[in-house]
Amino acid sequence: MNVMISDISQDLNTTVKGVQTTITLFLLIMAILMIPCSKLTDRWGRKRCFTMGLTLYGIGALVSAAAPNLGVLILGNSVFEGVGTALLIPPVYILATLWFADVTSRAWAFGVISGLGGVGAAAGPLIGGVITTGISWRAAFVFQALVIATILLLSRRLVDPLPADPTRPFDAVGAILSAVGMFFVVFGILQAGSNNVLFAICLGIGAAFLASFFLFIRRRERAGKEPLLSTRLFRNRTCNLALVTQNVQWLMLLGTSFVVSVFLQTERGYSAIKTGVIFTAATIVGIGLLLGLVKASSSDWAFVPGLFLIGFGVGAMLTPSVNVVQSSFPEALQGEISGLSRSVSNLGSSFGTAIAGTIIVSVVAPGYRSYAWAMASLILFGLIGLGAALLLPSKLERPA
């Protein structure tokens, strides 16, 4: 989506802000549904949720490809693909955790998953740019649907190590409270700068719903009923610190991706394929290079060192933090912690696109100034993640 910003804006007669909203809603829907969908893996089965998620994602890609306006694009990309991703991602990490029992082999498994994810992240902008420039942005969504169809065929032989439990209770009230709370927080951030009153109101509503969610699950747990999330997850200091690093990693990665894409296409006038080439070259030091070199040089290659270091830094952090989080809890809590981990990560992605994206598209500081302020905000969050990482223990204890 990031390399298609200009093409989509022109074709659907919308703005960069409209495309930003589509991307942010996609990430937000993933975040708010990741925990409920993780709980459903116990009830419906991990393979079934994986297959359902892929199917919904494929439908969303086809709807997006045929979108006549921004509303239909949001339906296909943000809603269908967002819900599909929330269903298919948790089973990946749950199955990897269940298939690999010890911490060492599990770290290898997560390393492979993260590594291939990194290859996809690097190749995606280039492939999307080539298709968008050579054919159209709509063809890029058709390509997504073909990839999904291939994965569905390859996943037929997957074996779920645990049987589904249709009698497993589902905390619908908790799911609604958490979803509404996170929605208002991210929606509020999107209003920053344009409507500060609405920004404050939404943040207040979001905080109130999230507080109500925590009180509700605690009361439900004390009554002997199964909550959407066990409060035990929040009492593990090591896990909490690792979750902070995960949130910041994705905030910086997606925030940087969106900011640089917008700058290249709106200020430099780059095409989709040229933007994709820049990203294929691809925490804090990297952003500093992006600021300094871009200011000093108009060369395309000025973006490469910073993006490379950001990709290298996030890639080096991602596997250890995921392994720390997943391995901090026993098998019985894998569904819950996987959902919480993915939700926190995707919430970071939403924050990155919403916060840095809102700054880069603001009219208060146009051109390079808005780019610099957006990058500076990402540095601040990077320092928070660095602080959390330094507090992590050097040795991981096995869960009871």
Position 294 confidence tier, pLDDT thresholds 50, 70, 90:
very low
The predicted pLDDT at position 76 comes to 94
CA gap 343, 28 in Å, rounded = 9
Q: Are residues 293 and 315 in the same domain?
A: yes
Name the nearest CA neighbour of 265 among 1, 4, 10.
Answer: 4
The predicted pLDDT at position 273 comes to 63
Q: Are residues 17 and 95 in the same domain?
A: yes
Instruction: Count structural domains, the chain.
Output: 2
Long-range Cβ contact pairs of 173-176 (< 8 A, separation 24 or more): 173/216, 174/213, 174/216, 174/217, 174/220, 174/227, 174/228, 174/229, 175/35, 175/36, 175/39, 175/228
Q: For 377-398, what is the mean pLDDT?
A: 70
Nearest 5 degrees, angle CA 126-CA 110-CA 3?
15
The predicted pLDDT at position 62 comes to 95
Q: Are residues 302 and 366 in the same domain?
A: yes
pLDDT at 53 > cutoff 90:
yes
Position 350 confidence tier, pLDDT thresholds 50, 70, 90:
low
Q: Are residues 113 and 212 in the same domain?
A: no
pLDDT at 151 > cutoff 90:
yes
The predicted pLDDT at position 356 comes to 67
Q: What is the pLDDT of residues 351-366, one digit of tens each?
A: 666 666 666 655 445 5
Q: What is the pLDDT of residues 268-291, one digit of tens each?
A: 776 666 666 666 555 464 545 545
Instruction: Among 183, 201, 227, give the residue marking a domain's end.
Output: 227
Q: Are residues 35 and 182 in the same domain?
A: no
Q: For 71-99, what is the mean pLDDT?
A: 88
Domain of residue 183 covers: 172-227
Q: Are residues 140 and 260 in the same domain?
A: yes
Of 311 and 2, more confident: 2
Percent of the chain with pLDDT over 70: 69
In the chain, alpha helices (H): 5-11, 16-44, 46-65, 70-73, 81-99, 103-134, 137-154, 172-190, 196-222, 237-262, 272-280, 284-296, 304-327, 334-360, 368-390
Percent of the chain with pLDDT over 90: 14
Q: Are residues 281 and 135 in the same domain?
A: yes
Lookup result for tokens 């605690």: 218
The predicted pLDDT at position 67 comes to 92
Q: Using alpha carbons, list the distances in angstroms from residue 306 to 4, 278, 293, 310, 375.
A: 22, 11, 8, 6, 11
- Residue at 397 is within a domain: no
- Residue at 93 is within a domain: yes
Q: Which of 157-166, 209-218, 229-238, 249-258 reaches the highest mean pLDDT? A: 209-218
CA gap 367, 99 in Å, rounded = 50
- Residue at 58 is within a domain: yes
The answer to whether residues 240 and 388 touch, using CB atoms and an 8 Å cutoff, is no
Q: Are residues 54 and 180 in the same domain?
A: no
Residue 13 burial class via C-beta count within 10 angstroms: exposed 0-12, middle 13-18, buried 19 and up? exposed
Q: What is the CATH number of the domain that holds 298?
A: 1.20.1250.20
The predicted pLDDT at position 55 comes to 95
- Residue at 396 is within a domain: no
Q: Are residues 57 and 127 in the same domain?
A: yes
Q: Are residues 213 and 67 in the same domain?
A: no
pLDDT at 73 > cutoff 90:
yes
Instruction: Among 227, 245, 272, give the residue marking a domain's end.
Output: 227
Query: Whole-prediction pTM value?
Result: 0.69
Q: Are residues 260 and 363 in the same domain?
A: yes
- Residue at 2 is within a domain: no
- Residue at 163 is within a domain: no
- Residue at 4 is within a domain: no
- Residue at 220 is within a domain: yes
CA gap 78, 62 in Å, rounded = 13
Amino acid at 138: R
Q: Are residues 49 and 123 in the same domain?
A: yes
